[in-house]
Structure 1
Amino acid sequence: MASHVNSFSDEPVTPASRLFLQPELDAIIHCVIGVKHPIDIDAIKVLISNGPMIKHPRFCSLMVRDQNGVEYWKKTQIDIDKHVIIIDKDNPEFTVNDYLADLSVSTPLSIEKPLWEIHLLLAHKCAVLRLHHSMGDGISLISLLLASCRRADDAEALPKMLSRGKTQRGYDWSGVFWWLWGLVTMVSFSLVFMVDFVVRTLWVRDRETAISGGAGVELWPRKVATARFWLEDMKAVKKAVPDATINDVLFGVISFGLSRYLERRSPNALKEGHRLTGVSMVNLREQPGLQDLNDLMRNKSSTQWGNKIGIFLLPVYYHKSDDDPLEYVKRSKAVNDRKKQSLEAHFSYIIGNFVMSWLGAKYACLLNYRLLCNTTFTISNVVGPQEEITIAGNPVTQLMATSSSLPHALTMHMVSYAGRADMQILVAKDMIPDPEFLAKCFENALLKMKQAAAVTTKI
């Protein structure tokens, strides 16, 4: 849609959001909400009509372009029936993951209406919320979704939003010393990782493996599989490695699982320590975790709505041995500790905004596309509510997320909910024809880590 925008109330699309609107990326988030009882279509429409989603400016605005091609959000009237899509397929061979795979390739959202839809898969008792990434990042969008839900144990209470407080250090001499040492390490690691980020974007490419993607792969047919983890298992592994985090465990599982998968796909083809580079999405808000919706929507809030995400490159390495599965977590922790002491994610965000603002969307998209072509996979992790919730009075049984396809042949998105974490594995099926086996490799990796952690704890 092309339109000349001259209304003072129209809001320009931010540089980060403009990037996701480019045809080469056209990023769409697919959020799956599974429920216990059959879906009440009328109840869902009432919830949307009266809930916070429809009141949010992004969800009742068209994306339009002025005569210079600059994108704006323009308020419009919402016709709920155009956004709620009823899918009533009663085919035993048709699965939710099949449906997501079909949506992920060449299924854009129409710009004739606000960039969101809800597909109700009646036979599977689940809804697929399709949201264009230009409307906001994963934290913004899942916070908005949860604002429409209620806790299962209290029908009037909103789900708890997770956040992490700040820690403070005293100003004694030892504190000053460690502050100075932290500054030195921050500068050092930042320089190293920034150089790696730049050269990976411009010309250095991962050596080809059985799971490598590349230019044009975003148009290839897809398959989706789900790897399911219990958070208690991940926490047990975390306790066995001093100062480890759930993300350290997750990245260790990725490294371990990919090693076992590649060992089967191409035995003896890879050398020990072969690097596979992942693109990891990082929440740059001041308070990590899910955000209070009112806080996100305040104009002057440091955590305000939008795309506030950076990127850091996650190197994982192929290893033939699995004698000590916890070594994968220890190696991942070492990498993550250095990444967290650097400004790599902030650097990627600032550089992206600079290129978009000064050189335009074409060059910003080109650089992001090259980065994806030169790396091997995408990984993201969003922490969802830890208590059970309901939507329109219907208990939610699962939360999952995936996205539209990228030049990567392998994309992984994990969302945790009520003690479980489901990771959606989106693959180019002509390159990775057996994503179910890959999912099993990840699940087995965590199981072996848990067994090793139990032995370590006893010792």
Structure 2
Amino acid sequence: MAPPESDSVEPVTPAGRLFLLPEMNTIIHCAIGVKNKLDIDSTRSAIKNSLMLKHPRFCSLLVRDKNGREHWKKTDIDVDQHFIIVNKKTCTDDVDKVVNEYIADLSVSTPLDMNKPLWEVHVMLEQKCVIMRIHHALGDGISLMSMFLASCRTASDPEAIPTLVTGRRPDYGKEGKQKDWRGVILRVLKMVWFGIAFSLEFVLRFLWVSDKKTVISGGDGVELWPRKLATAKFMIEDMKTVKEAVPNATINDVLFGVISSGLSRYLDHRSPKALKEGQQITGMAMVNLREQLSMQDLSEMLKNNSGSQSRWGNRFGFILLPVFYRKSDVNPLQHVGRAKTMIDRKKKSSEGHFTYHIGHLAMALLGPKVNKTLRFSYLMVLVYAYI
């Protein structure tokens, strides 16, 4: 393409350039199920009049200048090119299975067309489901969900925007009083200690350290292997019951405990003699680095691209989440307890901020050739962690 004009383009951020790499090409798939049959004309009209089409990123093409540098260039939108109707009739009543198979196929064999803005809306009529495909270079989950929420209205009042519950719980001590200065000092010391320890661990795993191979480890070309999505449903009441059994646990602790217990049981079933008790399997999770936003903050984020916390784009870091193999006869609540201890330490550290700033600076300051090598290495860490 011809070099873009300076007054009609916006440079792609370093994080956006990472997600646009051919080796990565990260696309977000969001499936939204509805109760009633979808009306095609109403859905198309809602998209045409939504905030999404008023945001520059969703109305821009990805172009490259003569130096190969990526930019966003404004263009006219034809909604019909982004609105895809899927009339897929099946002989099964398992809607989750049909939707999962469709998304799995999209994620491998159907990249987004680079000749139009990088988003699509797939409407599965028979399954009463809408699948939004949005390239990760357009924004992170908080930005995109903020846009989606700001486009919604409450059922009781069609003109009212849904409200958000904001604010954090105060940090209380054992007697119910807020911690004094000694508690603050102790908390700062823990933050520094865990921050250094976890950041050093991240660097070592990035450069050298790796887990031992297991039956769930991938091989060469794992990013091109066939995909399969599976849906697991948990009753929130059941998760709350488990949460109450472990002092001060959260729903996230319970969820990670379920993952840890389930993974240990699977490995125990597949290769019980090949693993040692306590063997580590390292995962990776993205963490949001934005402050908790109010609806006013969301509006500012959509209106402009300025400000530190309300800036549109990708603002997240990574943290390592190790899972330790345990024999299947271990009390499952022990997995929740270990998850709580580990996640509490992660919350006290600055690992997410460290990984965000290191990655951002490296991709922004290093040249294209070095960047390509660095990004590919970074990609390998991500692929390895998600296996």
Same fold (TM over 0.5): yes
Separation in 2, partners of 1:308, 1:371: 19
Q: Post-superposition shift, 1:58?
A: 1.1
Question: Structure 2 vs 1, CA of residues 290 and 131 (structure 1 numbering), >3 Å: closer, same or farther?
Answer: farther
Q: What displacement does 1:37 show?
A: 1.6
Instruction: Provide the C-alpha distance between the structure 1 equivalents of 2:296 and 2:28, rounded to a whole number of angstroms.
Output: 18
2:81 corresponding residue in structure 1: 82
Query: 1:270, CA displacement in angstroms?
Result: 1.2
2:170–2:178 Cα contact (<8 Å) kept: no
1:144-183 correspondence runs (5 A): 144-165=147-168, 167=170, 175-183=180-188
CA contact (8 A) 1:58 1:73 kept: yes
Determine the structure 2 residue equivalent to 1:366. 376
* 3-state SS, counterpart of residue 181 of structure 1: helix
Specify the SS of the correspondent of 1:102: helix
Q: Distance in 1 between matches of 2:118 and 2:250?
A: 35
- Code of the residue aligned with 2:139 in structure 1: it is G
Shift, 1:184, TM fit: 1.8
Shift, 1:154, TM fit? 3.5
1:146 is displaced (CA, Å) by: 2.4
Q: Give ranges in structure 1 of 5+ residues lacking alignment.
A: 378-407, 409-459
Residue 349 of structure 2 corresponds to which residue in structure 1?
Answer: 342
Q: Name the SS of the counterpart of 1:350 in structure 2.
A: helix
Q: Secondary structure at the match of 2:206?
A: helix
Deviation of residue 324 (structure 1)? 2.4
Worse overlay, 122-131 or 6-15? 6-15
Alignment of 1:313 with 2:312, yes or no, is no
1:174–1:135 distance in 2 versus 1, CA, 3 Å:
closer
What is the SS of the residue equivalent to 1:243? coil
Return the TM-score normalized by structure 2: 0.90
Q: Which amino acid aligns with 1:87?
A: V
Moved more, 151-160 or 78-87: 151-160
Supply the distance in 2 between the matched residues of 1:305 and 1:187 (Cα, whole angstroms).
Answer: 29
Cα distance, 1:290 vs structure 2: 9.0
Q: Compute the TM-score of the two structures, normalised by the length of structure 1.
A: 0.77
Higher normalized strand content (fraction of residues): 1
Q: How far off its partner does 1:156 sit?
A: 3.0
1:332 is matched with 339
- What percentage of aligned pairs have identical amino acids? 54
Q: Is the 8 A contact 1:278 1:313 kept in 2?
A: yes
Give the aligned residue type for 1:362: K
Secondary structure, aligned partner of 2:148: helix
Whole-Å Cα distance in 2 between the matches of residues 91 and 115 of structure 1?
Answer: 29
Shift of 1:23: 0.7
Q: Which amino acid aligns with 2:196?
A: L
Runs of 4+, deviation exceeding 4 Å: 166-169, 288-292
Q: Distance in 1 between matches of 2:250 and 2:261?
A: 17
Q: Which residue of 1 aligns with 2:142?
A: 139
- Relative CO higher for 1 or 2, CA cutoff 8 Å, sep ≥ 6? 1
Residue matched to 2:54: 55
Q: Which residue of 1 aligns with 2:99?
A: 96
Cα distance in structure 1, aligned partners of 2:78 and 2:215: 46
Distance 1:320 1:291 in 2: 49
**Structure 1 residue 232 displacement after superposition:** 2.2
Equivalent pairs counted in the alignment come to 375
- The one-letter amino acid paired with 1:281 is M
Residue 366 and residue 188 in structure 1: after superposition, are their counterparts in 2 closer, same or farther (change >3 A)?
A: same
Does the alignment pair 1:3 with 2:2?
yes
Structure 2 residue 203 is the aligned partner of structure 1 residue 198: yes
Amino acid at match of 1:353: H
* 3-state DSSP of counterpart to 1:92: coil
One-letter code aligned to 2:309: S
Contact 2:268 2:328 in 1 (8 A): no
Q: CA RMSD in A?
A: 2.4
Shift, 1:210, TM fit: 1.5
Contact 1:143–1:292 (8 Å) recurs in 2? no
Contact 1:139 1:291 in 2 (8 A): no
Letter of the aligned partner of 1:39 in structure 2?
L
2:260 aligns with 255
Deviation at 1:320, TM superposition (A): 0.7
Deviation at 1:16, TM superposition (A): 1.1
1:18-33 paired onto structure 2 within 5 Å: 18-33=17-32
1:122 Cα shift? 1.1
Counterpart of 2:291 (choices 283, 286, 311) is 286
Which residue identity lines up with residue 258 of structure 2 in the other structure?
V
Q: Decide whether aligned partners of structure 1 residues 215 and 183 sit closer, same or farther in structure 2, where only a CA change above 3 A counts.
A: farther
Which ranges in structure 2 are unaligned for 5 or more consecutive residues? none
